Structure formats: C-alpha cells, structure tokens
Structure 1
C-alpha cells in the first residue's frame, strides 16, 4: 500500500471564507486517484488558514499580548474545525476520527486519514512529517498558495529567482530555525529539521493548481520545488 501525505494549507481551504469550489474539486481529484489505483491511500493534514489568523489577531488586539502558546492553541482549534469539514467531505473514504496527536496509537482503516493541529510549538507541517514517518511515506506534498520557492519574495522583488530544487541545509538557512505561531514560511522550520533527520523529501507546490497536483501524483513533470 502506497501512502501519500499531503500537508493541505489552510490558506487554500479557508483563505478568508470557506472555498467550496476548491474543496469540491480537490475531493473529486483525490477520489479519482483512489479509484484508478487501489493500492493508494492518503493522509491529509489540514491547516488553520484565515480563521486562525483572524482569531489570533483578535486575541492580540484585545489583550495587547503576544503569548505564543495562547496563539498556537487558537490556531490549533482552527485546524481542527477545518479538518472536521474535510473529514465530512471524505465521509465514505475516511473511517477513522480526525488525528489530533500524531504520536498516539492510530487506526488507518479507510483510504483517507485526516489530521489537524497537535500542540503548541508544532505546526501541521510537523504533524505531516511525523505521520509520514509512522506510515512509511518517504515524501510529503506541501500544498499552499505559492507555486514554488523563490530566492526572495517575488511580490517585493520581481527579479526573484525560482528555485526548483534545494537542500535541507540551504532551505533551513533561508527560513531560519525558530517556529512562531502564524510564521509565513513555505514549510515550518521545526518540521524541516525533522524531515532532514529522517531523510524525507518535501515537494512544495500550489494547492489550487489541481492539474499540477495530478501530475505530481502520477509522477509526471510538475511545477514546484523539491527539498531533500
């Protein structure tokens, strides 16, 4: 059985409001790949997206504080709500409860396993790496609202160069090593260090480009960045 782990960015599931059209299309794409490959199963780890940012911002405005644990728990709650939605969408394929602790004893009895945030100090990217290790996946698909890694923020520097492949050491040097709630990086630093230790490969790609996602799943040429 081949297990594909997808870290599904909350920014594409709920960028501001719930993106119903995207979720419908994503469901049909995943279901079609399950249909044509009976030896395939997916772990989908869902991020917090717009709700996490809104509630974290509200907390800071109300209290004037910047407590990392408090903000992490808010973000975790958002991931769990989003994950319950995705589990409901995949009702027939997902037989097990949403995973909220990737280290506990787990069942994987269906074709889809849904996971959400765990505890402060760790993002859903880290959860994806831990679950990948547990279920024998050698790579993680990280789907977000960026198509690939750039040398700089392309919105600020139009001459920023696309990076199609990068080592873990160079990637970690680029993003730093510290995790903060809501940190805007393509892959969380704590998860990056764990993936490096495990010798895992991570593919960064646009979640909204479903044709490109299909190419990745079919092991065809795709647009994105490979970190290994």
Structure 2
C-alpha cells in the first residue's frame, strides 16, 4: 500500500470498528439489531481483509491443515458430548459462528494485525482486549441485576483478561485456531457448570 492508501485503509478500519461495536451494543436488546450485527459484521471483516494483501496472506496461514484439524476436532468433540447429553447440536454451530468466529476474526485477527502495524503486536494485543471488553458493556447496561455487587465491576475486568488471554494465544501461535477452540469450549461447557460455581472463574458465565 502507498502512504495515502494506508491512511485511507486505517480510517476505514476505525470507522468499521465503531460500526461493529455500535451494532453489538444495540443488538443485546433488539432482535433486529442482532441479526443486523451477525449479518453485517462478517461482510465488514471480509472486505477489510480483502483490501489488505498482508492480511490475505496471513489468513491463508490461519487455515493450514494443522489448524483445520484442531478446529474440526474440537467441534466434533463438542458435537459428540452434546449428542450424548441430549443438548441441541444446533447450539454448537450457532456458538461457533456467533460469538466465536465473529469475535476471533475481528479482535484477534483483524484488530490485532492492523493495529500491530501501527503500534506493535504486544500493544495491539492489549488494545484488542480493551475493545473486546468494551463490546460487552451493553450487557451491564441492559441487565445490571444479572451482575450484583462486586460482579458488576468484575465483569468488564474478566472480559478484558479473557480478551488478553485469547490475544496472547494468537500472538504466540500466529493462528486463531487455538483461541477460537478455547473460546468455543468455554461457551459450550457453561451448560455443565452449576450456577453456584460459575464464579470459578466468573468468566465462564460466559465470555
């Protein structure tokens, strides 16, 4: 990219992230905005990746045979577990798409790599974790009673720490297959954890 093209791309990137986060904030309390979010977000992410040659190259590395085997194995394992316990198999696929794929491709892949060129990968990993926690602030706004007392303050901190952890996994492996697999597993195991133990860690309810 030329310097002008790079500045143009970065501007479009920041505007796009504002749109994605804004859609999610409204989506928590609106079915229409929810479907708009899960429909528009992948289009925005796809266009931004397509416009950056470096991201297109990185994307191919994220789908190596090894990474595909990891994701397929994890999904297959959860499908088997859910089938054995009589839970909905559709929920596994729904969760894989939203929130797992949308959030991992946006925060861990797109945000981390774009900002990584501007401020370095370690700082970009911290910023994407902050944006990830910012995304879920709507939960506290629309359902404050669901997080009483100290949990109200722990919720954004937990989301930030999990975003940081997912980001660190991506930074170490240069692939979203590992954070994606962990993210999916934390969501899907939530149905097996008694409510009284949800605080161990509290992030299992859920992120």
TM-score of the aligned structures, taking structure 1 as reference length:
0.29
More strand by share: 1
More helix by share: 2
